[in-house]
Amino acid sequence: RMSRHAKKLRDHDINPCLAETDATTKCMNDNNYNKDMCTDYFLKYKNCRKFWHGIMMQRKRSGVKPEMPSAEERKKILESMG
């Protein structure tokens, strides 16, 4: 059974970087945990976290709830940016 924390990390509405997390994990598994082989994946994950953290802080300052947009909202935000 997954812990409550693990379930949250697997929830698209809570974790905006689920695809990047999975891609990084897969790369690490496929490359015998050689981090050097997965640099691009780590970078994409880091950029994803940074981007959504910025959005979250902006919403927090503006008093918008929830602070993390839902998966559907995030899709619209990304589409509006091209």
**pLDDT, one tens digit for every residue, the chain (82 residues):** 778 888 877 888 889 999 999 999 999 999 999 999 999 999 999 999 999 999 999 999 999 999 999 999 999 999 999 8
DSSP assignment of 3-50 equals -HHHHHHT-TTT-TTHHHHHHHHHHHHHTTT-GGGGHHHHHHHHHHHH
Tokens 């997965």 correspond to 38
pLDDT of residue 48: 97
Predicted pLDDT of residue 82: 83
Give the Cα separation of 5 and 32 in Å (integer). 26
Q: Residue 10: which residues within 8 A CB-CB, separation 6 or more?
A: 2, 18
Q: Please name the amino acid found at residue 36.
A: D
